[in-house]
Chain A
Amino acid sequence: DQQVKQNSPSLSVQEGRISILNCDYTNSMFDYFLWYKKYPAEGPTFLISISSIKDKNEDGRFTVFLNKSAKHLSLHIVPSQPGDSAVYFCAASVVWGDAGQFYFGTGTSLTVIP
């Protein structure tokens, strides 16, 4: 049972444009969300997180939006750069729930075209 879903396996964007990666979840108890970026042959690298008490969090070129009523979050990258080409995973957890367990989506492969 996939509680976190990334329905777009891949996305291509021109350099300088906005990249929007989407993530949906089914468990209404989730209250902490993260995005990770993964290059081949490396472990995932933490990008940005958001708590359910907020609907937006921004860090440089990266902004995460959370729509709790729709159980949807998105990651915006502006402007996109070729170095952003990687697989992006969203993850969710219940802060005071199952200890240390994060639920991950299957990833979206982003290609930024120079």
Chain B
Amino acid sequence: KAGVTQTPRYLIKTRGQQVTLSCSPISGHRSVSWYQQTPGQGLQFLFEYFSETQRNKGNFPGRFSGRQFSNSRSEMNVSTLELGDSALYLCASSYAGSSGNTIYFGEGSWLTVV
């Protein structure tokens, strides 16, 4: 079955703009989480959604937000972009609600802020 799909794959934005990234989870998966990867920082947890509800949020400013739709697809939005927001944004999905389920990643969205 199809994996996690993220769009767009690459984008360039200007400081101060906003961006919306999209994620379609693996069919049947109800949990979607987002991670930011920057060089030397590993993967940093942004937030997780399950059945359209945000259940957990990482230590990121309020400029980072997200939502999940009834079909489990998810979007994340970053407003008032800063140069430091340049990163690979990864979406991951899993079947159930506990953190004892393996999460599967998409290929990511590369965001460059200039």
Query: Which residue numbers of A lie inside 8 Å of B, CB to CB?
Result: 2, 4, 31-32, 34, 36, 41-46, 49, 51, 89, 91, 93-107
Contacts and interface: CB of A to CB of B under 8 A. Distances in A.
Interface string B85-114: 000001000100111101111111010000
A99 B55 contact: yes
Does more than half of chain A's interface fall in helix, strand or loop, or is it mixed? loop
Interface residues of B, number: 31
A32 B102 CA distance: 9
Given A44-B90, A89-B42, A89-B43, A100 B105 contact: no
Contacts of B72: none
B31 A100 contact: yes
User: Which secondary structure characterizes the binding site on chain B?
Assistant: strand
B45 interface: yes
Contact of B58 (A2, A41, A101): A101
26 contacts: A2-B42, A4-B42, A32-B99, A36-B105, A43-B90, A43-B108, A45-B105, A51-B100, A89-B42, A96-B100, A99-B31, A99-B48, A99-B55, A99-B97, A100-B55, A100-B56, A100-B99, A101-B45, A101-B48, A101-B58, A102-B45, A102-B99, A104-B42, A105-B42, A106-B40, A107-B42
Contacts of B58: 101
Given A32-B99, A44-B90, A95-B100, A106 B41 contact: yes
Q: Which of B40, B42, B48, B97 counts the most A-chain CB atoms under 10 A from its CB?
A: B42
B76 interface: no
Contacts of B81: none
B90 A99 contact: no
